[in-house]
Amino acid sequence: MTRVDIKRDLDALNKQIAAANRALFKSAGLYVINLMGSPGSGKTTLLENILPRLQDHVRTAVIEGDLATENDALRIRKTGVTALQINTNGGCHLDARMIENQLSRLDLAALDLLIIENVGNLVCPASFDLGEDLRMVLLSVPEGADKPVKYPTAFLNAQAVAITKTDLLPYLNVDLDEMKRYMAEINPKLVVFETALKGGVYEAERLVAYILEQVRQKKGK
Ligand SMILES: Nc1nc2c(ncn2[C@@H]2O[C@H](COP(=O)(O)OP(=O)(O)OP(=O)(O)O)[C@@H](O)[C@H]2O)c(=O)[nH]1
Ligand SMILES: [Mg+2]
């Protein structure tokens, strides 16, 4: 068997398991977000800050993906939200089987929302469906305006983007409008949010409202 055949088989297997995950999430009425972005783009910080606001309305759990350590799960648990940690031991992304393996550890029927923080990477996670409803990419301002066109797959396969760390705009030579133009060039359908950490307050109101609305729509509430 050639290398190409093996890759094709693995892609097909991942799609199959992702479809099974999606069916399970649907039957449990659970809305699932796959959160991806470069290392340090602010994925866990976003979750730490929006989880308490989401928890006021929907029952939420988190699955964390990292090469090593339980650091991010520990950070999330401090908010009172259940967090499971997957260590990929060198792997640069989560796959559908890794998620499937965690699901028996969660009471899916008692949840409305599951957020999966993928391994910090703007390339590998983009090619692996986990069975999610929403794929959201985080792009932080310091990474630079041209990242959507340099790493297009993540933006092409996502429905939403959060531009994080906009509080740093005054200190950096980064053009926010240019970043948004590049995003629209790759995927005009992307819903784009901005977040900022200002004076100790994390600003993400539109993003929180959007997530709550998506959960409500899936649950038919
Ligand atoms: N100024 C500013 N700093 C932020 C913001 N969000 C996150 N940070 C900082 O950015 C650094 C990385 O944040 P994390 O939330 O750990 O990033 P991550 O994407 O979860 O990183 P990995 O899980 O390692 O991929 C931390 O020092 C945060 O305090 C923001 O909105 N503004
Ligand atoms: Mg993190």
Q: Is the pLDDT confidence value at 57 over 60?
A: yes
In the chain the beta strands, taken as DSSP E runs, fall at 31-37, 60-66, 82-87, 113-117, 134-140, 160-164, 191-194, 196-198, 201-203
**pLDDT band (50, 70, 90) for residue 6:** confident
Question: Which residue has its alpha carbon closest to ligand 1 atom 9?
Answer: 42
**pLDDT band (50, 70, 90) for residue 220:** confident
Q: Is the CB of 196 under 6 A from ligand 1?
A: yes
Distance from the alpha carbon of residue 39 to the mean position of ligand 2, in angstroms: 7
Beta bridge partners of residue 134, listed in sequence order: 33
Domain residue ranges of the chain, discontinuous segments joined by +: 3-219
Q: Is the pLDDT confidence value at 2 over 90?
A: no
pLDDT in tens, 95-112: 999 999 999 999 999 999
Ligand 1 atom nearest the C-alpha of 66 is: 23
pTM comes to 0.96
pLDDT in tens, 11-47: 999 999 999 999 999 999 999 999 999 999 999 999 9
pLDDT in tens, 138-167: 999 999 999 999 999 999 999 999 999 999
Q: Is the CB of 121 under 6 A from ligand 1?
A: no
pLDDT in tens, 61-87: 999 999 999 999 999 999 999 999 999
Say what the alpha-carbon torsion angle 177, 134, 50, 169 is, to the nearest 10 degrees. Answer: -10
Amino acid identity at 143:
E
| pLDDT at site 1 | 57
- CATH code for the structural domain at 3-219: 3.40.50.300
